[in-house]
A and B are shown apart, each in its own frame.
Chain A
Amino acid sequence: MSAADWRGAMNAGVGRLAMGKLVPARGNQGQSTISKPAEQENRGLSLISGIRLRHVVVLAFLLAFPVYASPFLTFQIGAQSLALGLIALSLTFLGGYGGMVSLAQMTVAGIAGYSVAIFGAAGSSDAAISLGWPWWLAVAVAIVIATLCAAFIGWLSVRTEGIYTIMITLTVGVAFYYLCLQNYSVFNGFQGFQRMQAPTLLGINWRDPVPFYYLVLFWSLAGYGFVRYLIRAPFGIALQGIRDNPRRMNALGFNVTAHRIAAYAVAGVIAAVGGVLLVWYNGLITPNSVGTSWLINLLIIAVLGGMRHPIGPFIGAIVFVLLQTFAIDLIDRERFNLVIGTVFLAIVLFSPDGLLGLWAALKSRVTSGSKFPTPTGGIK
């Protein structure tokens, strides 16, 4: 292959990613997924040309959502889905692009939430523990602490590989849950912290449904754009290479361990921002917010949407929240776990790439008319 061909192929690869199409991110052959970062001007061009009609439509829909939806829908469905989606995005980044499925992302989010409660101001009953710092300082400190914890969890779990990750992160997550539950001097035990509110700034009370929705939307878009950028940056490309073949990347001179820990830290930042937003949404944080069911719910959200594209967790979160709010009316409020467990089982059994994988298979079947859907790598 000549140099010109090679450059063309590389650019095509970048363009393909930028179009927002589903690329086989988890293909068996590493070559198909790794596209080299192109020159700066090409990247800039493809960013603009990558914006398509559907992006504009989705963005317009999201921006206009509070106009035609009731405050209940805006807050309960819109804001909650976006906040959960943002936290799940960190898992998608780690799992889909780093090959490390961490169950401790809700723990990282919880650490951020607890930090906001401990350093900032919570309700009157917990004043003895809360330090009462101004909200911006508390939030900044919370995100730093959560990121450090995420890096530490990463450091622990990257020492072993593959399936061990899920065991170690689950252990860390459940251990943190029990710590919050048993400890009263710092984490206020079973009660946790109540009455936590988004601050009032610029004369806007960010706790109100519509401003809060836009706040969460802003950070979700920021997180989405950040991940989209990162997976095409040299770091993201190296990370995907490490996912597909760590030994080869090591032989090429990449520090595999450092890249993995850095991925945990980056995912930690995203999860921490989501965690702060989720605490403001819920207005409280208790051990149950970081309990096993929520650790697993986050995995359900990520897997439900599909781990092959950063939009997956948001789709998963919307489905999850809709199920949580409406579908349980069909059976029984108490039986939500049964519903979500069954849905999760069905997705894992029949479409390992989640709803996005289902959509891609459907589309390829319709467009090509072929009997066989395109081979998908699936989550291994």
Chain B
Amino acid sequence: MTRFWRWFWSLALLVPLAVFVVWGIWDNAKLFFITLLNGLTLASLYFIVASGFTLVFGLMRNVNLAHGSLYLLGGYVGYFVAEKTGYFALALAAGFLVAALVGLLMQVSIFRFMQGEDLRQTMVTIGLSIVIADLMLWSIGATVHQMSAPDFLSGPLRGIPLIVAYSKYRMALLPLGIVIGVLLWLFLNRTRVGMMIRAGVDDRAMLAATGVNVNLVFAVTFAIGAGLAGFGGVIGAVELSMVPGEDVRLLLASLIVVIVGGMGSVVGAAVGAIILGVAETYGLAYAPTYSVVFTFVILAMVLAFRPRGILGAAA
């Protein structure tokens, strides 16, 4: 693309956006900033769930379409643990562990035997997601399960300029998302296992040739990726709610996040999550019946100009 067209498209994109921002602040500043915060906190949840998805995809080329089911599973487990014990932290740990365990089981018992068969693996995850979703519907039912926030995070946070008050729990999601992102970055960039995972993303065969037990690395990655879905599920059980159908919603969000951000990249997942979260909440606030269209337009534009996603590497 020539320089002119790059400028042209940047302006075509940025000018309407800037006009909207100015109009939004002038029209109703409180609504605008609350929507922004809602978008960022939703992005935080999307990032946590999608980073697990992108991690698994980046290393194993396995499009885990059962990721949404793992999210829902984690949420239900968290809900019941919190109900029994009363500790939110315990619920988070349980959600992570159960989902990680299921993910590990999937990798060890099925995907290990069909390495390199991308499409077949994906179809297996589709089958698994149908079965898992129906088993959960059978055992738990279709009623809405909504978890309450832990005591120290319940209620609103007051005294914020302009928007006056905002839910403490949702506010806490922002730093949580950042902390998890940083931890994930440190894990991938500063530890030995992380180094192996990154090497595996670049070249699986070469990693195996250097004597690394690739199956072990795969299993660990799959467990972490699935665990992040379960962890996100517990968070989502408070922020949203747990009901059959949410699995599809989060799966769609994860897919869009990684397609927009770039597949296999954790930073890309963060960028994609912010774009999706903000676009979705603004869509819902300002044009409720067409909010999906915005998301779709973003997806189409990214695919048109950067088919591998904003931060995706060339194949």
Interface pair B303/A156, CB less than 8 Å apart: yes
Which listed residue, A170, A296, A380, touches B130 by the CB 8 Å rule?
A296
Interface pair A160/B307, CB less than 8 Å apart: yes
Q: Does B299 contact A (CB under 8 A)?
A: yes
Q: Does A345 contact B (CB under 8 A)?
A: yes
Chain A positions within 8 Å of B173 at CB level: none
Interface segment, B43-51, B211-219, B285-293?
Answer: B285-293
Interface string of A332-357 (1 = CB under 8 A from B): 00110110111011001100100000
- Expressed in whole angstroms, the minimum distance between the Cβ of B106 and any Cβ of chain A is 12
Interface pair A341/B131, CB less than 8 Å apart: yes
Interface segment, A82-90, A178-186, A225-233?
Answer: A178-186
Interface pair A379/B119, CB less than 8 Å apart: yes
How many residues on B have C-beta within 8 angstroms of the other chain's C-beta atoms? 45
Kindly report which residue of chain B lies nearest to residue A185, judged by CB atoms: B289
Which listed residue, A159, A185, A335, A378, touches B138 by the CB 8 Å rule?
A335
Interface set, chain B 292-315, CB cutoff 8 A to A = 292-293, 295-296, 299-300, 303-304, 307-308, 315
Interface string of B56-71 (1 = CB under 8 A from A): 0000010101000000
Interface pair A183/B289, CB less than 8 Å apart: yes
Interface pair B130/A344, CB less than 8 Å apart: yes
Give the most central of A168, A299, A342: most B CB within 10 Å.
A168
Interface pair B291/A182, CB less than 8 Å apart: yes
Chain B at the A interface: SS class: helix
Report the separation of the CA atoms of residues A101 and B292 in the bound assembly, to the nearest whole angstrom: 24
Q: Does B195 contact A (CB under 8 A)?
A: no
Interface string of A181-218 (1 = CB under 8 A from B): 01111000000000000000000000000000000000
Interface pair A341/B289, CB less than 8 Å apart: no
Report the separation of the CA atoms of residues A172 and B295 in the bound assembly, to the nearest whole angstrom: 10
Report the separation of the CA atoms of residues A378 and B120 in the bound assembly, to the nearest whole angstrom: 9
Q: Does A175 contact B (CB under 8 A)?
A: yes
Q: A156-B300, A183-B289, A345-B131 are in contact. Are A296 and B126 (CB under 8 A)?
A: yes
Which listed residue, A179, A183, A292, A341, touches B127 by the CB 8 Å rule?
A341
Q: Does A171 contact B (CB under 8 A)?
A: yes
- Expressed in whole angstroms, the minimum distance between the Cβ of A305 and any Cβ of chain B is 14
Interface pair A179/B292, CB less than 8 Å apart: yes
Kindly report which residue of chain A lies nearest to residue B252, judged by CB atoms: A174
Interface pair B131/A348, CB less than 8 Å apart: no
Q: Does B117 contact A (CB under 8 A)?
A: yes
Report the separation of the CA atoms of residues A174 and B249 in the bound assembly, to the nearest whole angstrom: 9
Chain A positions within 8 Å of B293 at CB level: 179
Interface pair B122/A338, CB less than 8 Å apart: no
Interface pair A184/B289, CB less than 8 Å apart: yes
Kindly report which residue of chain A lies nearest to residue B128, judged by CB atoms: A345
Chain A positions within 8 Å of B127 at CB level: 341-342, 344-345, 348
Interface pair A166/B63, CB less than 8 Å apart: yes
- Expressed in whole angstroms, the minimum distance between the Cβ of B90 and any Cβ of chain A is 31
Which listed residue, A335, A342, A380, touches B118 by the CB 8 Å rule?
A380
Q: Does A290 contact B (CB under 8 A)?
A: no
Q: Does A234 contact B (CB under 8 A)?
A: no
- Expressed in whole angstroms, the minimum distance between the Cβ of B244 and any Cβ of chain A is 10
Kindly report which residue of chain A lies nearest to residue B110, judged by CB atoms: A349
Chain A positions within 8 Å of B263 at CB level: 164
Report the separation of the CA atoms of residues A47 and B120 in the bound assembly, to the nearest whole angstrom: 34
Interface pair B120/A380, CB less than 8 Å apart: yes
Interface string of A286-303 (1 = CB under 8 A from B): 000000100010010001
Chain A positions within 8 Å of B259 at CB level: 164, 167-168, 171
Report the separation of the CA atoms of residues A60 and B290 in the bound assembly, to the nearest whole angstrom: 50
Q: A167-B63, A185-B289, A296-B130 are in contact. Are A348 and B307 (CB under 8 A)?
A: no
Q: Does A162 contact B (CB under 8 A)?
A: yes
Interface pair A378/B117, CB less than 8 Å apart: yes
Interface pair B123/A379, CB less than 8 Å apart: yes
- Expressed in whole angstroms, the minimum distance between the Cβ of A285 and any Cβ of chain B is 18
- Expressed in whole angstroms, the minimum distance between the Cβ of B246 and any Cβ of chain A is 12
Interface set, chain B 106-152, CB cutoff 8 A to A = 110, 116-120, 122-124, 126-128, 130-131, 133-135, 137-138
Which listed residue, A172, A296, A348, touches B124 by the CB 8 Å rule?
A348
Kindly report which residue of chain B lies nearest to residue A157, judged by CB atoms: B303
Interface pair B299/A171, CB less than 8 Å apart: yes
Which listed residue, A163, A340, A342, A344, touches B119 by the CB 8 Å rule?
A163
30 sample A-B contacts, Cβ–Cβ < 8 Å, listed by A number = A156-B300, A159-B303, A159-B304, A163-B61, A163-B118, A163-B122, A166-B122, A167-B255, A171-B252, A175-B295, A182-B288, A182-B290, A185-B289, A292-B248, A296-B126, A299-B123, A303-B123, A337-B133, A338-B134, A338-B135, A338-B138, A341-B134, A345-B124, A348-B123, A349-B124, A378-B117, A379-B117, A379-B120, A380-B117, A380-B119
Q: Which residues of B contact A (CB under 8 A)?
A: 61, 63, 65, 110, 116-120, 122-124, 126-128, 130-131, 133-135, 137-138, 248, 251-252, 255-256, 258-259, 263, 288-293, 295-296, 299-300, 303-304, 307-308, 315
18 further contact pairs, Cβ within 8 A, besides A348-B127, A349-B124: A156-B300, A159-B304, A163-B61, A163-B63, A163-B118, A164-B263, A166-B63, A166-B122, A167-B258, A174-B255, A334-B138, A337-B130, A337-B137, A341-B130, A345-B127, A345-B128, A349-B110, A379-B120
Q: Which residues of A contact B (CB under 8 A)?
A: 101, 156, 159-164, 166-168, 170-172, 174-175, 178-179, 182-185, 292, 296, 299, 303, 334-335, 337-338, 340-342, 344-345, 348-349, 352, 378-380
Instruction: List the 10 shortest-distance A-B pairs measured between CB atoms, nearest first.
Output: A341-B130, A345-B127, A159-B307, A341-B131, A337-B134, A163-B118, A338-B134, A178-B292, A174-B252, A348-B123
